[in-house]
Amino acid sequence: MPKEMIINAFVPENVRVAILEDKRLNAFFEDFARDHRSRSNIYLGRIIHIEPSLDACFVDFGKERHGFLPFSEIAPIYRQSNSSKTADKRIEKKVKRGQLLVVQVDKEAVGSKGAKLTTYLSLAGRYMVLMPYSDTRGVSRKIDDPETRKGRKEIIDKLNVPKGMGLILRTAGEDKNKRELTRDLNYLNRLWKEIQKKARKFTGPGLIHAEADLIQRILRDYYTSDIERVWIDDPVALSKAENFFKLFMPRQKRTLRFFSEKLPIFSHFEIESQIEEIHSRRVLLPSGGSLVIDPTEALVAIDVNSGKMKSKNQETTAFETNLEAVKEVARQLALRDLGGIVVIDLIDMTNGSHKTTVERTLRDELRKGKARTKIGKISSFGLCTLTRQRLGRSIRTLGQRECPTCMGSGLIPDLDVVSMRLMRKLRAEAASGKFKSVRVILALDLANHFQNRFRSEINIIERELDMEVFIEASSSANSQGFEIVYVERKKVEPNQNSRVKKDKERANQAVTTKPNVSHESKKTYTVRKPETVPSEDPAKKREKKSKKFNQPKNNKTAPRASKMKQGENKTSGVVPAKQKPRKRNWRRKKTLTVGDKKQDTDTKLVHGTNHTSPESSLPGHETMNPVSSDTSASTKEEKKKTNSKKRKPWKTKKVKIDDS
């Protein structure tokens, strides 16, 4: 089947490379300029922290996140020698904090995990891989023919490999002679000397050697002799490819082609539609079945569905579907560059030979790729588990970001569910009484659904809980979320609440008594009792009263001289002080004591004449004329007693009165 390599470098910020086999996408690579690739780059790093519990250390190599360096990846050249007889293999005894070392990125940083580092460097060439600080000499695992492997090892032993370095023959050098292999080895030796020279000049963490760009890496790692043409749509990229072929493969330079048509190169070769399938969750099989691929944090789950595929019986249908599915699984793993643990849920098969055939087919398909894999047997539940090496960043993380609506779950809540969640939130806030009003910002469809579904509940909140609710529709709002803006109530000042406080204080000061629980009912009454005032001297009282009653009446028609003291001449020149006019008591109550009881009598004073009430006939009652100066001594004494008993502020005293 004809194979072609298509390089789309018309936009330098996004370079894409596709390998077609019989016009079907077999491999796809994409690189963004903003994503600074660090895998296989060589840095000068400094140890900043040693963690004995992990048997590793963390290295600052010039990136935002520190790299993780296990103790097993530290070359002996960087380990401190131990003079004691018993070798101490603890990491804190072999390396020290602040130590400088040359490291290479083995795995890219993924999520919150930093990059994995190693000090066993590997410099990849076209036909060989040079490994400083290692004595390994070997042949690629992809070359599985025993005779070919034996012949390749004999050639490697004849090469002039520097002392203290290892060498591995790549798959591309399987049929190459000693001359071509020597030329590739010399190129790698020169490259290593340049790296050592740069490392000596560095005084702190930084980049020493960067891996080649995407075009040169793909030509170096994936170009094979069975590729008939290499199409490139950019002149700059074409010149880079020519230099690479001139250096490593002069005879293969004739396969380069420049694509000059106006139609985009990927559209011309009908690749765009096949690339869209890579980002799809469901992949259709030619016979009617399908695959559902779900990458997760821990593993990759792949489900096989038979769909419309039909055969003679159930066992045959399951076998044919699984056989077709495992071929597509191997292709999708390579296209998407999915690594880690992969679990394939196959259709149940009862025939053991069918299971063995499916396992062998999957192993053969995965062997075509460059990633190392390990496959387990199909279990009784129809599960096939395998592990795959992750060569780079997964295609699903390139140029993509997490969905802000579903947060990566792939599911969004129903409008009714979101509306009820919002309603419960508003009820809780309204019941607290802290907020005067709220403004809810919703998407247009959610705002319409919420108002139509909970219109009556919103009215109840506004009427009974005294909180206004305003609904605002926004085109930029999340379609499955909501935003609430609260307006708090103003705090009441203490002066505004003084009357309420006084009422509470009065209520607290009020004396209440609880009735005693007994067979006889008793009532509690509150009786006011005037305050006791200390009595004055009787002689002084009589003197005050005599002066008071000897003064003339304060009538409005009385002459001004009437306000003067008795016996004082008008012409004496002494002006008396103004006295407050005395008001006449037209009705006065007088208390009489009859036996053990007190009774009130009314005395009417009309123009100096006494008119007594019917109670005046009671014993001990006497009339009183305040104008007359010839009153009897008994009347005066009674008057003094009445006037002396002035009412004072009342006090409350609790007295229990038995009804019996």
Distance, in Å, from the CA atom of 69 to the CA atom of 91, rounded to the nearest integer, reads 11
Higher pLDDT, 33 or 528: 33
Query: Kind of pairing, strands 56-60 and 42-51?
Result: antiparallel
User: Nearest 5 degrees, angle CA 236-CA 24-CA 401?
Assistant: 70
Q: Looking at the structure, do residues 298 and 219 belong to the same domain, yes or no?
A: no
State residue 248's pLDDT score.
84
Q: Do 241 and 180 belong together in one domain?
A: no
Same-domain check for residues 290 and 306: yes
Q: Where are the beta strands (DSSP E) in 140-244?
A: 165-169, 206-209, 227-232
Tally of CB atoms within 10 A around 101 = 21
pLDDT tens-place string over residues 283-296? 999 888 899 999 88
The region of weakest confidence among 378-392, 544-558, 592-606 is 592-606
CATH number for the domain that contains residue 203: 3.30.230.10
Render pLDDT for 511-524 as a digit per residue (tens, 0 to 9): 444 444 434 434 44
Distances (CA, A) of 613 to 588, 634, 638: 11, 20, 18
Tokens of residue 620, six digits: 């001990």
What is the distance between the alpha carbons of residues 647 and 579, in angstroms, rounded to a whole number?
A: 23
* Residues whose CB is less than 8 angstroms from the CB of residue 486 and which lie 6 or more positions away in sequence, other chains included: 429, 434, 435, 438
Q: What is the pLDDT of residue 1?
A: 65
pLDDT on residue 192 = 92
Angle at 190 between CA 104 and CA 203, to 5 degrees: 50
Closest CA to 622 of 609, 636, 643, 608: 636
Q: State the sign of the Cα–Cα–Cα–Cα dihedral 153, 227, 20, 308.
A: negative
- Quote the strand ranges of 111-164, DSSP E: 116-118, 123-124, 128-132, 137-139
Q: Provide the pLDDT for residue 627.
A: 42
- As a whole number, mean pLDDT of residues 22-26 equals 89
**Contact criterion met (CB below 8 Å) for 296 and 332:** no
Query: Greater confidence, 340 or 507?
Result: 340
Region 366-386: what's the mean pLDDT? 90
* 222 within some domain: yes
Collapsing DSSP to helix, strand or coil, 465 comes out as coil
Concatenate the DSSP letters of all residues of 75-101 into one string.
Answer: -GGGSPP--SSS----HHHH--TT-EE
Same domain, 200 and 218: no
Pairing mode, strands 165-169 and 137-139 = parallel
Q: What CATH number is given to the structural domain containing 8?
A: 3.30.420.40
619, part of any domain = no
pLDDT of 546 reads: 65
What is the structure's pLDDT at 307?
Answer: 79
* 132 in Cβ contact with 69 (< 8 Å): no
Residue 660 has pLDDT above 50, yes or no: no
Average model confidence (pLDDT) for the chain? 77
Is 113 within the bounds of a domain?
Answer: no
Q: What is the DSSP letter of 515?
A: P
381 and 289 belong to one structural domain:
yes
Domain final residue, candidates 365, 397, 429: 397
Q: Which of 470, 488, 506 is the last residue of a domain?
A: 488
* 67-107 residue pLDDT tens: 999 999 999 888 887 544 445 678 888 899 999 999 999 98
Res 622 pLDDT > 90: no
Same domain, 195 and 252: no
Question: Do 257 and 287 sit in the same domain of this protein?
Answer: no
Residue 157 lies in a domain: yes
Looking at residue 451, which CATH number applies to its domain? Answer: 3.40.1260.20
Tell me the pLDDT tens digit for each residue of 307-347: 777 777 888 889 999 999 999 999 999 999 888 899 999 99
CB of 476 within 8 A of CB of 507?
A: no
Q: What is the pLDDT of residue 213?
A: 84
CATH of the domain at 363: 3.40.630
Contact (CB, 8 A) for 226 and 3: yes
**Mode of pairing for the β-strands spanning 100-107 and 116-118:** antiparallel
Is the separation of the CB atoms in 454 and 416 below 8 Å?
no
Does residue 46 carry a pLDDT above 60?
yes
Structural domain including 441 reads 415-488
Q: Residue 594's pLDDT band (boundaries 50, 70, 90)?
A: very low
- Residue identified by tokens 């609710």 is 469
pLDDT at residue 537, rounded to an integer: 65
Q: Which residue among 471, 488, 505 closes a domain?
A: 488
Q: Average pLDDT of 457-479?
A: 86
* 654: confidence class by pLDDT, cuts 50, 70, 90: low
412-434 tens-digit pLDDT: 888 888 889 899 988 888 888 88
Same domain, 284 and 258: no
Predicted pLDDT of residue 600: 47
Here the tokens at position 23 are 């016009």
Same domain, yes or no: 352 and 462: no
Does 539 reside within a domain?
no
How high is the pLDDT of residue 273? 87
Mean pLDDT confidence for 359-377: 90
Tell me, yes or no, whether 636 lies in a domain: no
Co-location of 287 and 377 in the same domain: yes
Q: Report the share of the chain in percent with pLDDT over 70.
A: 73
Task: Evaluate whether residue 381 is within a structural domain.
Answer: yes
pLDDT at 399 over 70: no
Least confident residue range of 395-399, 489-493, 647-651: 647-651
Residues 154 and 235 in one domain: no
Q: What is the pTM of this model?
A: 0.62
pLDDT of amino acid 370? 84
Whole-angstrom distance, CA of residue 260 vs CA of residue 10: 11
In this model, does residue 504 exceed pLDDT 90?
Answer: no
The pLDDT tens digits for 407-417 are: 777 778 888 88
Confidence of residue 465 (pLDDT cuts 50, 70, 90): confident
Res 256: pLDDT = 92
Same domain, 299 and 372: yes
Q: Of 215, 206, 201, 208, give the one whose Cα is nearest residue 12.
A: 215
Structure tokens at 120: 């066993």
Instruction: Please tell me the least confidently modeled range out of 11-25, 147-161, 519-533.
Output: 519-533
Say whether pLDDT at 302 is over 90: yes
Residue at 134 is within a domain: yes
Count structural domains, the chain: 4
pLDDT at 638: 58
Nearest to 74 by CA among 4, 23, 121: 121
